[in-house]
């Protein structure tokens, strides 16, 4: 089972409700594994490498319009005569990158010339021909830097006639963090801590700054030159849904955009002088690629996994259990965990009391990624753990409501827990155990509270990243 402490979570509280919720949670997270999708994407037939199929046709990079002279995509698979292909390289980084590369390795085997993947510390190395660095996340570390240098070194080897597979997913910003010239790793780490943790900046905003301070992620077409680049990606957002309302306008300089964000969040003067100098210098060599650079050389994009797989997997399992189930929000992201938890708990109470918007028994499902601005607090926790703990106050006394949340990647925030589960008995149990839920939330110390109550979910590293799954169950 994915949930390692499954039985321990069923020793107290609303046991039957917990069993149902954990079953649905497990099914959803299991459906987010990208391996089979990547394995089906590639095949070798009659000395030809075929990439793409009806489910996963070649596509343009999302959010980046092709230049006017670009050839339109036909949707037909890519076919490469292996007798004419030079070297095949596999590089990349992110929480799902090693799992995707494992499928590439499973198809191509010793046809792979060389490769390097940056995966998250705590993962187990499973690749045989492709090197792996286990790097730091959410704060980059020395392995992030050395692994990113190795990726860059391999990309620079690529020549016309070679194929470079780029395996990427969320988490790559930290896992492939190679600081730009003049910026130290310590400088970069401080930007991450201040902007994401202390200020609680949403991920798209944080990335607009930190990706501008690194020189690997986002510059791959430039680094591989005239080689064919095949970009295989697990994304954190559903298809055909605009969820980032704070993207940089096309007419705004990326360096100035990063400066504006740091000033808006009141941390321009807190970051190092070297970071400020680099952004003010605005070296075009490290600016984001323009669309003509992305498409100037052979580049093909394949989206192989996203949150819709996780949500649909959870919904199907709920219906198999005989429950009404609906995906309430597929990407509830970039908002604070505690007030969001209050709203979700209120909805659960509405169902319990008035059978609306769905009659009980039923399940509500949410995807996305909340934020927790910790400020100067030193508590231990993560967004999923804080979310469920905050719902416990509102649903106290209920005999029918159970709520759980877990991260698809297996690690919630900077902890080794993946999330938590609570029910209407949790608040009373906490009082009896001397655990103050209010104080834990005040100090963002949700892990300590959930561990004390036996309600923290443990899965270990899961090798995918499609954000979080929240399950709200109201029994009959």
Task: Give the model's confidence band at 65: pLDDT under 50 very low, under 70 low, under 90 confident, else very high.
Answer: low
The predicted model scores a pTM of 0.94
* pLDDT on residue 203: 83
Among 305, 333, 357, identify where a domain stops: 305
463 inside domain = yes
Q: Does 296 have pLDDT greater than 80?
A: no
| Nearest in space to 325 (alpha carbons), one of 172, 224, 474, 222 | 474
More confident residue, 431 or 376: 431
Q: What are the DSSP calls for 120-158, one per residue?
A: ETTPPP--SSSEEEEE-SSS--HHHHHHHHHHHHHHHH-
pLDDT in tens, 17-33: 999 999 999 999 999 99
Please give the residue range of the domain that contains residue 61: 35-305
- What percent of the chain has pLDDT above 70? 95
- At residue 401, the 3 state secondary structure works out as strand
349 and 201 co-located in one domain? no
| Nearest in space to 448 (alpha carbons), one of 396, 379, 384, 394 | 379
Among 260, 275, 305, identify where a domain stops: 305
Number of C-alpha atoms within 13 angstroms, CB side, residue 393? 17
Distant-in-sequence, close-in-space partners of 167: CB < 8 Å, separation ≥ 6: 90, 91, 92, 93, 94, 96, 97, 98, 100, 101, 104, 117, 232, 233
Cross-strand bridge partners of residue 78: 51
Tokens representing residue 455 in the block: 């309600």
pLDDT in tens, 78-125: 999 999 999 999 999 999 999 999 999 999 999 999 999 999 999 999
24 and 85 co-located in one domain? no
The predicted model gives 166-174 an average pLDDT of 95
The predicted model gives 134-161 an average pLDDT of 97
Q: Does 213 have pLDDT greater than 60?
A: yes
pLDDT in tens, 26-59: 999 999 999 999 999 999 999 999 999 999 998 8
CATH number at residue 50: 3.40.50.10180
| Nearest in space to 293 (alpha carbons), one of 221, 215, 211 | 221
| Nearest in space to 443 (alpha carbons), one of 350, 364, 356, 338 | 338
341 and 301 co-located in one domain? no
* pLDDT on residue 73: 75
Domain count, the chain: 2
Tokens representing residue 87 in the block: 């070297």
Range with the poorest average pLDDT among 61-75, 126-140, 318-332, 412-426: 61-75
Q: Are strands 401-407 and 299-305 parallel, antiparallel or unpaired?
A: unpaired
Among 279, 305, 331, identify where a domain stops: 305
């Amino acid at each position: 089972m994915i949930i390692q402490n499954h039985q321990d979570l069923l020793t107290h509280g609303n046991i039957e409700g917990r069993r149902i919720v954990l079953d649905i949670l497990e099914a959803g997270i299991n459906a987010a594994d990208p391996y089979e999708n990547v394995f089906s994407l590639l095949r070798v037939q009659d000395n030809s490498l075929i990439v793409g199929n009806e489910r996963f046709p070649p596509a343009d990079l999302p959010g980046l319009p092709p230049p006017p002279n670009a050839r339109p995509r036909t949707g037909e698979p890519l076919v490469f005569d292996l007798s004419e292909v030079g070297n095949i390289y596999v590089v990349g980084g992110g929480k799902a990158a090693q799992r995707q590369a494992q499928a590439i390795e499973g198809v191509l085997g010793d046809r792979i010339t060389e490769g390097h993947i940056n995966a998250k510390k705590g993962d187990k190395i499973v690749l045989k021909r492709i090197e792996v660095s286990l790097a730091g996340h959410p704060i980059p570390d020395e392995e992030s830097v050395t692994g990113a240098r190795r990726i860059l070194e391999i990309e620079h080897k690529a020549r016309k006639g070679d194929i470079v597979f780029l395996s990427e997913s969320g988490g790559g910003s930290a896992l492939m963090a190679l600081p730009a010239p003049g910026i130290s790793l310590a400088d970069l780490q401080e930007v991450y801590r201040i902007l994401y943790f202390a200020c609680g900046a949403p991920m798209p905003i944080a990335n607009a700054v930190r990706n501008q301070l690194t020189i690997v992620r986002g510059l791959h077409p430039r680094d591989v030159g005239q080689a064919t680049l095949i970009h295989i990606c697990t994304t954190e957002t559903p298809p055909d849904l605009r969820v980032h309302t704070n993207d940089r306008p096309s007419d705004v300089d990326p360096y100035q955009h990063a400066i504006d964000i740091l000033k808006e969040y009141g941390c321009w003067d807190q970051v190092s002088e070297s970071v400020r100098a680099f952004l003010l210098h605005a070296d075009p060599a490290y600016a984001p690629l323009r669309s003509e650079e992305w498409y100037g050389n052979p580049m093909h994009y394949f989206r192989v996994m996203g949150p819709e797989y996780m949500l649909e997997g959870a919904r199907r399992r709920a219906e198999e259990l005989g429950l009404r189930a609906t995906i309430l929000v597929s990407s509830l992201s970039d908002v604070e965990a505690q007030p969001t938890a209050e709203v979700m708990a209120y909805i659960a109470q509405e169902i319990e009391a008035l059978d609306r918007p769905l009659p009980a028994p039923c399940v509500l499902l949410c995807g996305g990624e909340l934020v927790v601005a910790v400020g100067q607090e030193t508590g231990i926790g993560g967004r999923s753990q804080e979310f469920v703990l905050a719902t416990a106050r509102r649903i106290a006394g209920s005999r029918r409501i159970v709520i759980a949340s877990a991260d698809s990647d297996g690690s919630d925030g900077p902890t080794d827990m993946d999330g938590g589960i609570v029910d209407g008995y949790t608040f009373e149990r906490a009082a009896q155990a001397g655990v103050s839920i209010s104080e834990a939330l005040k100090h963002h110390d949700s892990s300590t509270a959930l561990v004390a109550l036996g309600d923290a979910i443990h899965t270990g590293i899961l090798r995918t990243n499609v954000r979080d799954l929240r399950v709200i169950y109201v029994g009959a």
